[in-house]
Structure 1
């Protein structure tokens, strides 16, 4: 049956504007909105691509999430099944109504490999699944209206494991939950309009634990903070738009900078990006720093990436790319210029990733751009109408790098592209 794909030593995982799993420490968090069409493409020069036969492909060509488990298997979540890849072939897991131990739903939204090695699968309408490798089946968790200790919603929109090992589940229209694995029960944190200390909204888009152990929850209507000492009581502190506060209520991107543990970066759906300073309890909106940047007011923040030089890269939907240099409080703005062949391929920036060589990969609405710091310009990689040198599709939902340097690119409708370390071509896996 082949062998597990070469395992990444020490790999653990979380994939997210979503966001998970098996990503090495140098990989930037890729965040983009699941409610928006994930449109991303790439350019002609540079990499070449090699395609494999369709019979080796996926169950479905829309790849929403990627993870790697301890055995070295790579897992790909699609809109029609979960796929396990062993380096040679795919094994497909689907929902079987006659089998209670099968996958609970075919539409996969989130994947997470926790530090205990468990693979968690969040679905669009079938709840949460945990894969059992010894039996090659799944234990599923569902919402039960008659059981307050069940999953609060079957629409799982976020997965996160904190430093203590606790699994947190964000749901759409059901609030926040944490799993008591010992009793297979859920402790739910729901929005109650009559209780000002409850979760600020019932639709969760992002979860993050800060350096002090406080949990931050981005929702459709504001940001909630669950302090480490208040987890049992479920008492939240809320942050809403206002002077010195959030720039927009819809929060979909959260990022913590290891070099500045007292700061939380917050990307919003329509209000740009702002920083929360724990010492002062205030937010600094980036519009106060530079009005023309992708991070300024009114922008839909889709991706954040900290490079190894300490710069923060900010992608915005239809507003291009910004590079923020903290030491100088300065922004550099990058946009598409049709008259310049080496400009950004599109102003629709959907994902960001820094590779081991320090190159910044930018997924856009018209191509996959690669930024070269030495030359201060971009090269492109995109679909070439069936030419094997091009990507399989211009619509990419996920970019994931192995610690070994292998690069995976998941597209919306034309399968997976894989570039081995040191290679100049991609292998393409399709349904």
Structure 2
């Protein structure tokens, strides 16, 4: 019985042991970037992305890159760091110690004194609106709201608190003190009103001699995370300017980051944090209610990350994760809800033509082969093929009965069965009528199997062997039955060439007025007994309780009118499978989201090849393997599309 799965609010692990792949989109020279070396990413209030490259800045509108801007000429040199301040101004710190500020559509260049220029490593804004700029070897700059430099280090003063320090990053505490990461640990600086300068008050003993190259505020007040060069990540808590007032704890033990080289830590809301590990990849950590590290996932070159050398992470206003790297441009991971697997040992043939979930066992069918994955995330694999009795034919349907017997529908060779506990597959019903051997779908009610074929639909009682046939000879509108659905109320519906829904075990039907020419391809039952049907002309909602009909087609945003498979996720969204992608329908808002190449789809969804696990994961068969969708990992579309205007021409 295909229906909306019972909701269990926890995450199942991915299918362990499979070659899982996450789909990243990359942008480099071939996509129009001006340089493949990238160092910082930020976003302005109009929604444009700004990228600091090896030859200066460029702006990205989602389609095109540009590097010609109004205002002062800005350096054609690396911008290592950036900041969007409270006034909407974008600040960029360059390799040569200059600052570029983008305000009101034009750039202004800020030039410190010649003897105060070194690589800018961090930019922050204090509570007064002043901008504090950390220079790697020349200390601290302070710039007021009017873009005037009001403080810079005197290089002739050997007593300057920043003298002889290699400076990486800093944060401003609520009291106005500075925590500064250096090549020799984490130092504290207090502002002295009389001296009108900062005073070095000490270094945290637990971090002494460690290169602290990244420092971010945590989700809790007076708490910070520090990334080090080759010593992993630390949590720092405390207040004041006395090093003894701070506690330091190494975190991430046992996760793979114990000795990572970390240069970027980014919080993504209150329950997730992203951490880079140079030369390894990107770690994503879930956070518990106390902000402690929980489950982790490593994105590396083996599961889709284009390059392991990611130097900066940026999360845009829509929740997309962007990654900059030296030599490989930028990459973006737009949605981690989709995971792509090749479940076959033969990587050349990735096709998965049938999917069925039975408790904690997932069944997948291909041509002349079947694999079962038992135990959910434990990933115990069992392969069946022609040596077990399976014919050399595409598996088009899979179904298990209450005794755990497996029924196998094939494209041309009829119906087969594997009894529970056995590895042998035997023919159960192979007809002399080739049309009857062409099976599209199987469903059941606990006692009777319903088998959809090119010669109508037949029922089979596996215990008695009794069969009944439904064809055009006894009332069906057409013999080609593309899908069969046993609804929760016991009514059996079929998808065929007819302008509506037809039941084969009752007199119920729902015909569309005007009798349009339609071929229904796939069926699923949603909430409140509503039947959703995919066709060659879009997706239809049949509400038999209210006697209403809704239609979603390409004109309403569907990726394609032709639908091969349909499913309901735990949030109640309707998913339609197409060539090279899927569409998600929010029936309450009557909106449609489309997922195609930009989301990683590069294969075709197979007929009726979709099912849900008890944990709410949707498993989809495609020409490229298994696609797993986790509704609980998905981003909700909460923002309206932003209109970004570059220029207005008046003639």
Q: Corresponding residue for 2:143?
A: 179
* 1:247 and 2:208 aligned: yes
Larger Rg: 2
Higher fraction of strand: 2
Q: Greater shift after overlay, 168-177 or 153-162?
A: 153-162
Deviation at 1:54, TM superposition (A): 5.0
State yes or no: 1:139 paired with 2:108.
Answer: yes
**Secondary structure of 1:158's partner?**
strand
Structure 2 gap segments, 5+ residues each: 1-17, 289-293, 339-596, 601-651
Aligned to 2:318: 404
1:50/1:426 contact within 8 Å kept = yes
In structure 2, the residue matched to 1:114 is 85
Post-superposition CA distance 1:221-275 (Å, at most 9, x none): 5655443563862141321465xx75337543434445343x5666655787474
Q: Please name the residue that 2:99 is paired with.
A: 128
- Give the equivalent residue in structure 2 for 1:80: 55
Over 3 Å counting, the alpha-carbon distance change for 1:355 and 1:44 in structure 2 is farther
Match of 2:199 in 1: 236
1:92 aligns with 2:67: yes
Q: State yes or no: 1:215 paired with 2:178.
A: yes
**SS state at 1:396 partner:** coil
Residues 423 and 87 of structure 1: is their aligned pair in 2 closer, same or farther, counting only changes over 3 Å? Answer: farther
> Which residue of structure 2 lines up, in the alignment, with residue 278 of structure 1?
239
Mapped to 1, the partners of 2:47 and 2:191 lie a distance apart of 34
Partner of 2:555: none
The CA distance in 2 between the partners of 1:259 and 1:56, in whole Å, is: 40
Give the superposition deviation at 1:126. 5.2
The CA distance in 2 between the partners of 1:222 and 1:362, in whole Å, is 19
Distance 1:142 1:202 in 2: 22
Change in Cα spacing, 1:67 to 1:390, as seen in structure 2 (3 Å) is same
Quote how far apart the aligned CAs of 1:378 are.
Answer: 5.4
Whose relative contact order is higher, 1 or 2, with alpha carbons under 8 Å and at least 6 apart? 1
Pick one of 105, 113, 131 that aligns with 2:76.
Answer: 105
Question: Using the alignment, how far apart are the partners of 2:200 and 2:218 within structure 1?
Answer: 21
Deviates more, 1:54-63 or 1:152-161: 54-63
Aligned structure 1 segments of 4 or more residues deviating by more than 6 angstroms? none
Give the 5 Å matches for 1:31-430: 45-49=20-24, 55-93=30-68, 101-125=72-96, 127-134=98-105, 136=106, 138-145=107-114, 152-182=116-146, 184-190=148-154, 194-195=158-159, 198-199=161-162, 201-220=164-183, 224-227=187-190, 230=193, 233-240=196-203, 247-248=208-209, 250-257=211-218, 259-261=220-222, 273=234, 275=236, 277-278=238-239, 281-282=243-244, 286=248, 295=250, 314=251, 322=252, 332-335=253-256, 351-353=264-266, 355=268, 358=271, 361-364=274-277, 365-370=279-284, 379-383=297-301, 390-421=304-335, 424=338
Q: Quote how far apart the aligned CAs of 1:350 are.
A: 5.3
SS across alignment from 1:218: strand
Mark the runs of 5 or more structure 1 residues left unpaired by the alignment.
1-42, 146-150, 290-294, 296-313, 315-321, 323-331, 337-343
Query: Contact between 2:42 and 2:84, CA under 8 Å: does it hold in 1?
Result: yes
Return the TM-score normalized by structure 2: 0.42
How many correspondences in the alignment? Answer: 317
1:380–1:45 CA distance, 2 compared to 1 (3 A) = farther
Per the normalisation by structure 1, the TM-score is 0.60
Q: Aligned equivalents of 1:406 and 1:74: distance in 2?
A: 12
Partner secondary structure for residue 282 of structure 1 = helix
Structure 2: how far apart are the matches of 1:209 and 1:354? 17
Contact 1:241 1:249 in 2 (8 A): no
Q: Following TM superposition, by how much is the alpha carbon of 1:64 offset from its aligned partner in structure 2, in angstroms?
A: 0.8
Decide whether the 8 Å contact of 1:200 with 1:222 is kept in 2.
Answer: no
Root mean square deviation of aligned Cα? 4.0
Secondary structure at 1:206's aligned position in 2? strand
Query: Could you report, residue by residue, the CA deviation over 1:34-64 in whole angstroms, capped at 9, with x for unpaired residues?
Result: xxxxxxxxx9514124567954331112221
